[in-house]
Amino acid sequence: MSRFLFVVPPLTGHVNPTASVGGELLARGHEVAWVGHPGTLAPLLPDGARTFPAIDDVLEAGIRAKRERWLALRGMAVLKFFWEEFLIPLGHSMVPGVETAVRAFRPDVVVADQQALAGPVVARGAGLPWATSASTSAELVNPLRTMPKVDAWVRDLLHGFAGGDVRFSEELVLVYSSKALVAGEFGDEVAFVGPALAHRVERVGFPWERLTGGRRVLISLGTLNGPAGERFLGQALDAVAGLDVQAVVLAPPRPAPENVLVVPSVPQLALLPHLDAVVTHGGHNTVCEALAHGLPLVVAPIRDDQPTVAAQVVAAGAGVRLTYSRARAADIRSALRSVLDEPEYAAAAGSVRESFLAAGGAAAAADRLEKVVAG
C-alpha cells in the first residue's frame, strides 16, 4: 500500500474533489493525509482523516479578508490581485507546513491542488512525484492566450516563486470534467475523470419536509461571493415569484415569495437528485455536480474561471448564459423557463452526465494515482 498527501488551499470547492479521491484511496487500503487549514478540512473530510496544518486560523482569516477585497475589484485588477495578493503569498505561507507534513507522513506521491503552489515546490525539493488536482478546467485551455503580455507576466511570477510554471504536473493532471465540456487537445498526462462525488461527506442539515411537489430549482452563487451577489439574488427572487416552481435559494435569511425556501447552506449532493434545474454563477464544482445529475443550468458568471465554465455549458447545449451585472428578473425568468420547458437543454445535460459516468470519477482518479506510484 502507498501513501498519498493532498495539498489544498482553504477553499471548499478545492477540497471537495480531494475528499472524494482520498476517500477512494482509503477504501483501497492506502494511507492518505491532507495538509492545509484544519478548520476548513475538518467538516469536509471523512471521520478520522489525518491532517497536517499549513495554514492557521489567523492566516485563513486574512485570506478571507483578501477575498472580500478581491470581490470588489473589476477588470485586470482582479487578475493582478489574485496572483500578487493571494496565490503567490499563499504559496510562500504554506511551504513550511507542507515541508513538515512531507517529513512526518513520508508520502509516495504529493497531490497538489492547482492553487496550492507550495505542493509542487516541496515535492520537487524532496524528490517526490507529484500530481495536479485541477479543481477547475478553465486554465487547461489557457484563457490568457489572447493576452500574451499578461500570460507572460503570470509565468514570470510563477518562475520567481517556483522556478517555473508548476500549475500542472507533467506526470498527472486530474481534471474533474470530461471532453464533452472541455474542448482541445491534451497530453496523456491529462486525465479527464469527471466529477469526483463518491465518499463525500455532507454534514449540513436541510428542512426536507419543506420541499413541495412539482418542479424545483436551486439558486446558488457559491460560498465566496457574499455581498457581491446581493443584486443578482434580489432579481432572482423576483424572477421566480409566481412561477410554477419551488426555488431553494442559498443565502442569508431574507423576505422571499411563498414558493422560495431560503437557506444558508445545503447538502448539495443530497439535494441535486430532487431538482429540475440550477441557477448558478458558474463555479466549476456546482456546474459539474449539476450536470452529473443531468440538470440543465442558467449560468451568470461573475469572474475568475466562471466565464470559461459558462462558455463550456453553452457550447454543450446544456444551459443558458446571462450577463451577471445586467441580468434582470425578466431575463432570469425567461432563461429559467427555457431550461425547464425546452427539452433539448435537459437532453444535452443528460449527454454530459453520460460522459461523466464513462469517465469514472473518484475510482478512475485513484487508478491513475496508483499508476504514478508504480512508475
Cell of 370: 496508483
Percentage, residues of the chain above pLDDT 70: 98
328 & 366 share domain: no
**Does 337 reside within a domain?**
yes
pLDDT given for residue 147 in this prediction? 78
Q: Is the pLDDT of residue 225 over 70?
A: no
Query: Could you give phi then psi for residue 360, rounded to 5 degrees?
Result: 105, -20
Residue 91 lies in a domain: yes
pLDDT bin (cut points 50, 70, 90) of residue 375 is: confident
Tell me: pLDDT of 174 over 80: yes
Q: Report yes or no on 177 lying in a domain.
A: yes
The 10s digit of each residue's pLDDT in 284-330 is 999 999 999 999 999 999 888 899 999 999 999 999 999 998 999 99
Return the closest-CA partner of residue 22 out of 179, 218, 198: 198
Domain range enclosing 250: 208-357
Q: Are residues 103 and 237 in the same domain?
A: no
* Strand, coil or helix: 317: coil
Q: Examine the domain organization and report whether 348 and 364 are in the same domain.
A: no
* CATH, residue 58: 3.40.50.2000
In angstroms, the CA 133 to CA 173 distance is 6
pLDDT at position 247: 98
**Residue 202 within a domain:** no
Residues 64 and 182 reside in one and the same domain: yes
Q: Which helix (H) or strand (E) holds 333?
A: helix 329-341
Average pLDDT over residues 82-99: 93
Q: Same domain for 172 and 225? A: no
Q: Considering the domain boundaries, does residue 350 fall inside one?
A: yes
Residues 39-73 have pLDDT tens digits of 999 999 998 999 999 999 998 888 888 877 777 77
User: Are residue 340 and residue 259 in the same domain, yes or no?
Assistant: yes
Could you give the 3-state DSSP secondary structure of residue 160?
helix
pTM of the entire predicted model: 0.93
Burial class (CB in 10 A: 0-12, 13-18, 19+), 37: buried
Both 184 and 221 in one domain: the answer is no
**Is position 199 within any domain?**
no
**Average model confidence (pLDDT) for the chain?**
93
Average pLDDT in the 234-243 region? 95
